[in-house]
Amino acid sequence: MVSSLRTHRHAHYPPPWFSVAPMMEWTDNHYRTLARLISKNAWLYTEMLAAETIVYQKDNLDRFLEYSPEQHPIVLQIGGNNLENLAKATELAEPYKYDEINFNCGCPSPRVAGHGCFGARLMLDPKFVAEAMSVIAAHTDAPVSVKCRIGVDDHDSYNELCDFIYKVSSQSPTRHFIIHSRKALLNGISPAENRSIPPLKLKIYDKWGINTVDEVNAARRAGAHGVMVGRAAFQKPWHTLGHVDTAIYGAPSSGVTRRQILEKFQVYGDSAVGKYGRKPTVRDVARPLLGLFHSEPGNGVWKRKADAAFLHCTTMKSFFEETLVAIPDHVLDSPIGEPSSGAVLLSRPVGRLLAKAAGVAEKQKVKINCDTKKEDMGVALLLGLHWPMGRNQVLKGERTLLTRLVWPLQPTLHQACVVASSAIAFSVPVRSLTWKLKLRRA
């Protein structure tokens, strides 16, 4: 299913069954370096880069676009509303060989969607989005995708979303849509409020939980496409990313420990600190590490020591020497676990959602520790529905209930995915949009 979405550029990379969402000021080079040290297979997204930033900084591109080869597979997200700048930005980014170019049509920030007139506001102009995607695709060999919301302000009906996807996909080469399942409110509220005030339209049935790898594999055979995780992957990187390779991609455990990861990160960090004059600082580079010991003994002391060390440490080596004394050796030297026939606890509530799109060896067990009260985690479950479904077992919304997917069973129509989650983002890779959902009032 996924192979048709990829080109020769990244044909040797694993499918995007698990991705870390693009997050402004979070998924920078420092975080992505840490994430890749923990998981070799997760797909990583950059922060959104405005096309104008790339164009105007063309003599300083490495600062914004450079990344280590180890970060593959990696997706560049760009934003903008000027076709000429989008073309130039994509062309300037092309030598960096990102594995996909994603266009931001979902950011609700007043600075972006308001003053900048791009991001989520572009959902109101699908014709322009189609033109933008055509321009972007014409200047890269990589696949292109759109990340948007389920709607904007009062334009949040299912038909309007379908119309947006249909127009963009039919008028451009775009075949991959990542859709955040809250609408965007463009009345000046903050991005944080946009993650909580607009009601979620979709919700996972608790009864639809998956508890064994056999069920995971059954979900994959039924069309599960992948999982996208946002803030949980930043706030708890060890717990969220630690089982991705084994539990989702079926790879043998690396056995890597946090001490080993920090030793490698120190080498990277000391080469990065001060690379561009006064930036980045030790604080900038070390920021992604602050969740590495989440819920572990010594975590609180470690963070307090880190805050103090940021005031005077000028190298990552001195930072670690001053702070890691707070973490017990057994925590530093405990390896990433390998799923076995016993139980494996996954991060809550990420665990339940990870399992839904996992692909691991047969007959292994996965026990899910899920706190459904903590759902604002930026997690996305992507469900590819390949045939008509007759039971109300997947999606439930505040106003609508999915009752049946009417699907023309043709070889060219197997790419569409419908997604639900608690965050919510979802991805809809499509080759044709001759499909519909029958909805009734819940």
Question: Of 295, 323, 297, which is closest to residue 309 (Cα–Cα)?
Answer: 323
Q: Which two tokens stand for residue 342?
A: 């016993």
Q: Active-site residue 105, yes or no?
A: no
- The CA distance from 7 to 49, in Å, is 23
Q: Is 401 exposed, middle or buried, given 0-12, 13-18 or 19+ CB atoms closer than 10 A?
A: middle
Which candidate, 403, 408, 365, places its Cα nearest to that of 386? 408
Interior CA angle at 306 toward 49 and 31, to 5°?
25
Return d(Cα 145, Cα 78) in angstroms, integer: 11
Catalytic residue among 105, 107, 313, 370: 107
Catalytic residue numbers read 107
